[in-house]
Amino acid sequence: MQNSTLDISDLSETDVIIPSHAPIPEGGSVIPNGNGITAPTPTPVRAIERPLDPRIESLKQVLERHRQTRQLIILQDFPDPDALSSAWTFKLIAEKYDIQCDIAYAGALSHQENITLVRLTNLPLIRWNPQAKGKDQRDIMVYQGYILVDNQGTTSQLLPLVHEAGLPAIAIIDHHALQENITAEFTDIRPNIRATATILTQYLQAGLLQLDSGKTDHVKCATALMHGLRSDTDCLKQAREEDFLAAAYLSKFCDCQLLNTVLLSHRSKQVMDVIERSLKNRSIHNNFLIAGVGYLRYEDRDAIPQAADFLVTEENVHTAVVYGLVHDEDEEVELIVGSLRTTKITLDPDEFIKEAFGQDSQGRFFGGGRSQAGGFEIPVGFLAGLNANPEYAKLKWNVYDTQIKQKLLHLVNPKNNVLHTT
C-alpha cells in the first residue's frame, strides 16, 4: 500500500486539520479544503447573556433616592481588613451619587496589620467614643441615615446612638450569618460568600464604580480590598469561585508592593506577651485547645484572635479558643472577649459559640462566627471594676475563667466536663 503524506506548507491559514472520523457538529456541514481533508463549517456561538443581579439595581435605586445626603458607615468596634476595605469602597461608590459618607468605629485599631493598612493608604476613618461628653461629643444629627458594612450592628457600640437619634438604616452589607433583625432599605447578607470585600468587588464589576489605575485612591482602595479578601479567606485557601474572580479583577489595580508592606507588619510586644500567656495557660481536650490569658487593656484586645491563630497550628489541635478579660483605663468597659479558630471542617463556629454561650436577656447571642473562625463578647456587668485590689481581681478572673471553660467543655467533652480547681 502506498503511503500518503500531507505537506503542511500546502495548507492555507484558514484550513483546519481534523481526523476523518471526527463527528460533524449538529447543524454544521463539511467543505473540502483542497487536500482531501474535510472540515466542518463553524457553528455560530451565541453569547451567554447573564441576567443583571437585582441587588445591583436595587442598590442603585437606594443611592439615587439619597443623593446629596450625609450618611454614617458603621463598622464593628474592632474593624478588620475586610470591614475597612469594604467600607472605603462603599464610600467611593456613594460619592458617585453625591452622597458624603463618614466611616466610624467605636473601639480601637490594635492589630498591627490594620494600623499599617490605615496609615499607608490614608484610609478615611473616624474613631467615635460613644461615652464622650460635652465638647468631645460628636453630633450624630448631621447624618440622614447609617450603613452597616461587614457587621449587623451586634458588634458596635454606635448602634444604640443611631437608634436613639432616630436615624434610619439605609443599607446592610455583610457576609456573616443573620444576627440582628434590622430593617434597612437595602440588605445584602450572603453567608455563603467568604468576604464582604468580595461583595463590594462585585459591585465594582457591575459598574457601580469604574476603578481607574491612574487614581491613587482607587489603587489604594483596590489594594485594601485585596488584603481584606485575602485575610478573610485564609490567604485564599478557603476562597470560593466568587472570591477568586474578585481577586482576579482587583489584581489589575492592586499595588503589590504596598500590599506586601502591609503583610510584613511586625507583631507588637503586647501581642507577643498575650501569645506567651496563652501558651502557658493552655489545656487540650479532645484536640480542642482552651486558653485564658487574664486581663488585657481594651486597645490590646486584637491580640486575642492573633493568639488563637497561632495556637490552632499546634500539633494534634484542630480548634483553639483564646479569651481574656478586657477593660479600658477607666474600667467603664469590661468584657470577656474570646476568639475561636478551627481547621475542623465539620465544626461550625457560629453554631458552636451560640450553643456554648447562649443569649442575653434581650435574646441577642453573645457571639457567632463564620467558616473556621468565630468570636464572643460577654459583659462583666455588676462585677466590673475594682481591679486595683489584687485579691479581688484574681478572684474575679478565676470565676470567669472557670465558667468559660465549663461552658466550652460541656460541648467538647460532655461526659467529663467538671473542672476541679484548688
Tell me the per-residue pLDDT of 231-262, one tens digit each, with 9 for 90 and over: 888 888 888 999 999 999 999 999 999 999 98
Residue 96 has pLDDT above 90, yes or no: yes
pLDDT at residue 104, as a whole number: 96
Q: State mean pLDDT over 110-138.
A: 84
This prediction has a pTM of 0.66
Residue 33 has pLDDT above 50, yes or no: no
Res. 416 pLDDT band, cuts 50 70 90: low
CB neighbour class for 383 (10 Å; exposed up to 12, middle 13-18, buried from 19): middle
Does domain 54-263 correspond to CATH entry 3.90.1640.10?
yes
Element (H, E) at 273: helix 269-281
Tell me which residue of 391, 291, 380, 278 sits closest to 328, measured CA to CA. 380
Output 237 or 106, whichever has higher pLDDT. Answer: 106
Q: What fold characterizes domain 269-412?
A: Diaminopimelate Epimerase; Chain A, domain 1 (3.10.310)
| Strand-pair category, 367-370 with 145-149 | unpaired
Question: What is the rounded distance in angstroms from the CA atom of residue 226 to the CA atom of residue 416?
Answer: 45
pLDDT at residue 45, as a whole number: 41
pLDDT at residue 385, as a whole number: 66
Output 157 or 185, whichever has higher pLDDT. Answer: 185
What does the DSSP assignment read for 225-263?
A: HHHHHHHHTTTTTT--HHHHHHHHHHTTT--HHHHHHHH
Which residue ranges make up each domain of the chain? 54-263, 269-412
Q: What cell numbers appear for 375 in the block?
A: 468570636
Tell me the per-residue pLDDT of 271-298, one tens digit each, with 9 for 90 and over: 889 999 999 999 999 899 999 999 998 8
Q: In what order do the strands lie in the sheet with 186-189?
A: 126-127, 100-105, 70-74, 145-149, 169-174, 186-189
Domain pair 54-263 / 269-412, same fold = no
What does the DSSP assignment read for 4-51?
A: P---GGG--TT-----TTPPPPTT--EEE-SSS-EEEPPPPPPPP-PP
Tell me the per-residue pLDDT of 376-407, one tens digit each, with 9 for 90 and over: 888 887 666 666 778 888 888 999 999 999 99
